[in-house]
Structure 1
Amino acid sequence: MANKHLLITIISTSLLYTLLVFGAGFVCGIIRVIFLEPRLDDRYAQLLEMPLMMAVIWRSARIVVSRIKTQTRATGDSEEGKGKYIAVGALALFFFLVTEGGLYALIHRGEGKGWHDWVWDRDPVAGSLFFAMLGVMMALPTILS
């Protein structure tokens, strides 16, 4: 029974982490496109947004780690090991990529664009930092635990 509780905790916490980061990114993206990109170009607007998103990722990871520790104590599961934090980070990254890439493909389906375009049609600088930040998003629950 403890394994079932742990699995539910990992999945629900991963979904929460994804929702927090994606939701903040969605709001920031709207603000970026409407207010920043007309004044700056796309690269600089994205780069300006990244410190805020890094703070969101950091805070969201802290919330997630706290939630896992609380759930673990409440269900009597072992608090040993980093496996559950690794699983939450990896699963949250998976959920994020599916959500972001899927939404991109859905919005651009009339143009014949899909996952490949979502990955490769990025500014080389801002796009590289975006994917690096996703790596940080995946690793932070383990680092902060």
Structure 2
Amino acid sequence: METPTVTIPKIGPKPSKKLKLPTPKELISHYESQGMDSQDASLKVIEDLQKALFGVISSGKGKHDKLLTESSRKIDAISNRLTVLDMKLDSKPGYVETFAIGLASGAALKGIGAIVPHIIAPLFQIWNSVFTATKSSPQ
């Protein structure tokens, strides 16, 4: 009896062939070989490169890491600002507390208004007595 041979497939990334991109001179010579003059071939190469660049930019592959990093940084900044704003809003008194503070400050102002004349009148009397004493003293 013969033992069957078993082949085990390899798991992992397949070896990729590096695609060599043509140089600008090669592209120009390619278009010149198709019957274009040098200037038209150069313009065609520039147009092709612009289309390729636009395709890479619009697909997001070329700037994915930079965009992701910048977006993450902006989201962190916004999150920090919202946290600070939330803390400020939480520290503000509500309607009931504000009303109580207003009543207390009104009562304090009314009390001060009632006490001030009793404090100012004696101070004014002291001032007048000092003024008259210094004015009438012989020199």
Q: Would the TM-score normalized by the shorter structure come out above 0.5?
A: no
Report the structure number with the largest CA radius of gyration.
2
TM-score, structure 2 normalization = 0.29
TM-score, structure 1 normalization = 0.28
Higher relative contact order (CA 8 A, sep 6+): 1
Choose between structure 1 and 2: higher helix proportion.
1
